Amino acid sequence: MTSSAARQRILDAAFPLFYAHGLRAVGVDRIIAESGVAKATFYRHFPAKDDLVVAYLDRVDEIWTGQLHDAARDAGPNPADQLVGLFDALALACRRDGYRGCAFINAAAESVPGTPVHQRTVAHKEAVLRWVRDLAADAGLEDADAVARSLTLLLDGGLSAGALAADPDAAVRAKAAARLVVAAATP
């Protein structure tokens, strides 16, 4: 098995475990057993568990950001429509079997501020905020920063409500609220 194949097996084993059970509840020994790699192989790729957690969050970021961008793009070429359309990614997420909310919010709740894991969660949320702010500016909305902050709060609230209340319709309400925010900021 190549070095990259072993790393991938470890990540493939850790991904569903971390999402389903939480970062701290899943031990390294369980990930080693599930991935079928030797302990030395695990530690060669991930010297500390937090290194694996950050790699997991990198993968979640790639998937979730892709879903957000796809949903926005599917809403058409108008940036204002894309700001509302991105909430379709939320609807898909909330309806997924085993949905446990936002992996980044969950990770932030389990990590200590200033640690690499917490910093990775913050970096993700800041990147989404910047992207939404750019869309709001491209749409010519008044106070693009305030609009972006409002929309990302709605997005995070929808992610949380979908998990906490097991309410897939949270996404529908979040999208309706996003439509109102965008309309109110349209000159």
Determine the pLDDT at residue 96.
84
The DSSP call for residue 136 is H
Q: Where are the domains of the chain?
A: 1-47, 48-185
Mean pLDDT, all residues of the chain = 95
- Examine the pLDDT at 29 and tell me if it is beyond 80: yes
Confidence of residue 165 (pLDDT cuts 50, 70, 90): confident
Q: Enumerate the H helices of the chain as residue ranges.
A: 3-21, 28-35, 39-45, 49-74, 79-85, 87-94, 103-110, 116-138, 144-164, 170-185
Residue 35 sits at the vertex; the CA angle it makes with 7 and 113, to the nearest 5 degrees, is 65
* Region 1-47: CATH code: 1.10.10.60
What pTM value is reported for the model?
0.93
Instruction: Provide the CATH topology of domain 48-185.
Output: Tetracycline Repressor; domain 2 (1.10.357)
Domains 1-47 and 48-185 share a fold: no
How large is the average pLDDT for residues 56-85? 98
pLDDT band at 112 (very low <50, low <70, confident <90, very high): very high
Q: For the chain, what percent of residues have pLDDT higher than 90?
A: 84
Torsion angles phi and psi, residue 141, rounded to 5: -75, 150
Sign of CA dihedral 75, 95, 128, 87: positive
Smallest CA-to-CA distance from 172 within 74, 69, 100, 95 is with 95
